[in-house]
Each structure stands twice: as C-alpha cells, then as structure tokens.
Amino acid sequence: QVQLVESGGGLVQTGGSLRLSCAASGRTFSVYGMAWFRQAPGKDREFVASISGGGGSTVYAGSVKGRFTISRDNAKNTVYLQMNSLKPEDTAVYFCARSRTIAFRSDSLEYNYWGQGTQVTVSS
C-alpha cells in the first residue's frame, strides 16, 4: 500500500510563496508519474501540475504556468510544488497523487493513490 503525506501548506499574503512537499512510501517511486491537484470550496478538484518519473518532463495548468514549479527528488521519495506570486484564487486544499502508470497526464482518473491534502490560503 502506498501512502502519500503532504506538508507545507499555510496562510500567505497575495504575492507570497509556499513550497509544498509530498512524501511517498514504497520502493518504486521513481517509476510513476506524480501530480498535484487542488480543490477550492464548492468547486471540483482541478489539475495543477504533473511530472514524469525521472523528473525530466512536466505539465502545468494554464492558471499556474510561470508561477508554480513541480519537481521531485527520487532519492527522498518526495515531490514538491513551489508556488510563487500566489493569488487569492489559489486558495484550496492541495493534494498530491501517484499515477497508475508511468504516465503523468492531467486526468484525475489516471491517479490511484492520493494524499490527505494540505490547506493553502492566500489572503488579499
């Protein structure tokens, strides 16, 4: 069983930065694509960013491109989301997820392991 544990959320002012971390259990971490999703109150869960197993390829949602950076350290079984220039509309619970395969697409159905989420609140 794979466990994903997010950390690093909190309250930040508009324009500020946060770095989220997601620590994964298991020995085959580097095989699988990983992603971050978020869910704001009253809204559906949405894709934020994803990364290939080796870390060389990434995909971003248009709303965060140029502001957020996804990365991973396979030696530490950890994936990160560096969030800069935060806006109030970035307020949400952020979830990390592990892909069913090596793919790292934006469809949440392709991910079968999820963390418990970490709250990010951006004040105006």
Token output for 10 = 């909190």
* β partners of residue 99: 111
For 32, the 3-state DSSP assignment is coil
Is the separation of the CB atoms in 93 and 106 below 8 Å?
Answer: no
Q: Predicted confidence band at 26 (pLDDT cuts at 50, 70, 90)?
A: confident
**59-107 confidence digits (pLDDT tens):** 999 999 999 999 999 999 999 999 999 999 999 999 999 999 999 999 9
| C-beta separation of 2 from 15 below 8 A | no
How far apart CA 79 and CA 90 sit, in angstroms, is 19
Cα–Cα distance for residue pair 124/116, rounded to 1 Å: 26
Q: Is the pLDDT of residue 27 over 90?
A: no
